[in-house]
Amino acid sequence: MKIFYFAWLRTKIGVPSETVDLPAEVKTVGALVDWLKTRSPKHAEALANSKVVKVAVNQEHVPYDHPIEPGDEVALFPPVTGG
């Protein structure tokens, strides 16, 4: 699965995207965020406060209980600040 990071999540984690092999038990956005925290201390720090970690699946905003499938495009980012 390809994961994109934006804004300070990108700079804290240090890469704009990465491809990961998800364990079978990771079936929701919330479980994915928890699993990503275990990948490195940078991931753990960047993702520590879930209130400021928003998620899009296939370019739609979704809540943490949203299901994920292996072919999904997933993006993690802080609350948006455009306009």
Inter-residue contact 42 to 13 (CB < 8 Å): yes
Closest approach of another protein to the CB of residue 79, in Å: 3
Q: Which of 13, 47, 56, 68 binds another protein (CB under 8 A)?
A: 56
Q: How far apart are CA 24 and CA 10, in angstroms?
A: 26
Q: Which is nearer to another protein, 38 or 51 (CB)?
A: 51
DSSP three-state, residue 8? helix
Closest CA to 68 of 51, 56, 80: 56
Q: How far apart are CA 15 and CA 33, in angstroms?
A: 16
Q: Which of 59, 65, 70, 71 binds another protein (CB under 8 A)?
A: 59
Span of 18-26, 28-36, 38-46, 59-67 interacting with another protein by CB under 8 A: 59-67
Q: In the complex, which residues of this chain contact another protein (CB under 8 A)?
A: 4, 6-8, 56, 59-61, 75, 77-83
